[in-house]
Structure 1
Amino acid sequence: MKLSCIIIDDEPNAVDLLELLIHQSSEWVLKAKCYDALEAMNFLKKQAVDFIFLDINMPHLSGMELAALLPKETKIVFTTAYSEYAADSYAFQTIDYLLKPITLKRFLSAMQKIENHFQPVKIHLPRIEQNSSDYFFVRSGKTFHKILMRDILYVEGEREYIKLVSTDARLLIYRRLKEVEVQLPPPFIRVHNSFIVNTERLDKVEDNHIYIAEKRIPVSNKFRNQFMQMINGRLF
């Protein structure tokens, strides 16, 4: 799978080893090797990558501190000699947590996990009218997964992909959000450039944010009037 990445680590030997593993074992494009956090931040402002390899213990700015400054959608594979940060790492979009020294066996395991993370689930939705059936199917390989409309919590757009989140599944689908928007009938409503929500699953609205199953979703100005009309129509 063609993916792009960078390495952020202040240890040259660790960078060299990881670079060797990438070139020998994958088809990934290594766009840069950054030896401190500031260098990495400057690079990422100019170029996008699919994910980053990020060391935790670095001078001036640690990997955890850097991760907190990056866009929240940044996908991260942490690399460190210390296991005690593993739990904290999953506050971010962490794909894997590699302990140094990184062996070939462990790298191959991480590589499979990373590529699975980016593997889109192909979906072919018919146009769903308001009086249509209350389910559809998502195809993954030779399997067709039945998705009940009422179980969908929200749909989140991530560039050319969408993430469909239901009560019991999270599916990454190679489809743009605007294409899916026209196929989802009420009670689904667009509330942000990146979000469509199922209003029947809405828990509360507070300070221009929607809460659904502990997920905090922003309501943008662009879609606020339409959303508030729906809310006002159901005020008690």
Structure 2
Amino acid sequence: MSLKCIIVDDEPNAVNLLEVLIGQTTQWTLLAKCYNALEAMAFLKNNTVDFIFLDITMPHLSGMELAGLLPPETKIVFTTAYAEYAAESYGYATIDYLLKPITLKRFLAATQKIESAFTKTMLPTAISAHKADADYFFVKSGKTLQKILLKEVLYFEGEKEYVRLVTSTEDLLIYRRLKDIDEQLESPFVRVHNSYIVNTELINKVQDNHIHIGTKQIPISDKFRDRFMEMVKKRIF
């Protein structure tokens, strides 16, 4: 995916590392390297970017202070050595929060999350029976986009910052939150647990407060039981 970004950081080594990671692992265009917030503000007055890599602890004007001066829709990836700012950072249009030193593995995970934020068609916004055969989405794996038919998905399983997508032939990790996926899915998908969304059309059986789907046995939690059972009752003969 082609995106435009800038780096705002007062540490030359941190800037150089990000520049190398961007150049070696993405198709993004790095428009500028700014070594303080004032440089960034001057650049952004005359240039548009898709997102900003923004350090937090900088002299004169911190990254948080700069974020507060930017248009509220400006997307930001914070980069810092301090974990304590994480909660505050999500008061802005934050895509991710990278702790220094940034590893290749963590940066690659961030690239998926960043590109997902700019991919409006990652998942269909609605599912209807008459067009179910045409519903599909793409999952990014390395530099490959893999096509998945929605009707073939058995379940989604949340695993911290990732979601595991399982079909009868695929087992893939997506760098997204289960909550975000749940908000985009409609019937026949239903949330049955804090960690699971299932495709009700592919359920084998429901027994002892568990769903059997494919080779997986999934618990039904108290929080989601009523909603799920209402759907089941409509199909009982």
Q: What does residue 150 of structure 2 align with? A: 143
Whether the 8 Å contact between 2:124 and 2:136 is mirrored in structure 1 is no
Q: Assess if the C-alpha contact under 8 Å between 1:2 and 1:27 holds in 2.
A: yes
Q: CA deviation at 1:45?
A: 1.1
* Matched residue, 1:169: 183
Gaps of 5+ in 2: 126-130, 138-148, 152-181, 186-237
Q: Post-superposition shift, 1:12? A: 0.5
Q: CA RMSD in A?
A: 2.7
SS at match of 2:31: strand
Aligned counterpart, 1:97: 97
8 Å Cα contact 1:54/1:77 also seen in 2: yes
| Counterparts of 1:51 and 1:31, CA distance in 2 | 11
SS in 2 for 1:106: helix
Shift of 1:139: 4.7
Which residue is 1:108 aligned to?
108
CA distance 1:119–1:83, shift in 2 (3 Å): same
Give the Cα–Cα distance (whole angstroms) in 2 for the partners of residues 55 and 14 of structure 1: 9
- Equivalent residue, structure 1, for 2:43: 43
C-alpha deviation, 1:143, in angstroms: 3.0
Equivalent residues of 1:4, 1:51 under 8 A apart? yes
Aligned equivalents of 2:47, 2:94: Cα separation in 1: 20
Residues 148-159 of structure 1 mapped to structure 2, 5 A cutoff = none
Structure 2 CA distance for aligned equivalents of residues 78 and 124 of structure 1:
29
Unaligned runs of 5+ in 1: 126-135, 145-167, 172-236
Q: Would you identify which runs of 4 or more consecutive aligned residues in structure 1 move more than 3 Å?
A: 122-125, 136-140
1 CA distance for matches of 2:80 and 2:70?
19
| Cα drift, residue 121 of structure 1 | 1.3
> Hey, what's the Cα distance between the residues in 2 that align with 1:98 and 1:143?
31
How far does residue 170 in structure 1 lie from its aligned partner after superposition? Answer: 5.7
The answer to whether the Cα contact below 8 Å between 2:123 and 2:184 also exists between their aligned partners in 1 is: no
Within 5 A, what are the aligned runs for 1:66-77?
66-77=66-77
Instruction: Tell me, yes or no, if the aligned pair for 1:96 and 1:113 is still in contact at 8 Å.
Output: yes
**SS of residue paired to 2:91:** coil
**TM-score normalized with structure 2 length:** 0.54
Q: How many residues align?
A: 141
Q: Secondary structure at the match of 1:68?
A: helix
Aligned to 1:86: 86
SS at the partner of 1:169? helix
**Is the CA contact (8 Å cut-off) linking 2:74 and 2:93 kept in structure 1?**
yes
Residues 123/64 of structure 1: CA separation in 2 closer, same or farther (3 Å cut): closer
Q: What TM-score does the superposition give when structure 1 sets the normalisation length?
A: 0.55
- Cα drift, residue 84 of structure 1: 0.2
Distance 1:139 1:74 in 2: 31
Tell me if structure 1 keeps the 8 A contact 2:124–2:184: no
* Identical-pair percentage: 67
The aligned residue for residue 150 of structure 1 is none
Distance 1:104 1:72 in 2: 29
> How far off its partner does 1:26 sit?
0.5
Please report how far the alpha carbon of residue 119 of structure 1 lies from its aligned counterpart in structure 2 after TM superposition.
Answer: 1.0
| SS at structure 2 position matched to 1:22 | helix
Tell me which amino acid in the other structure corresponds to 1:169: E
CA contact (8 A) 1:121 1:139 kept: no
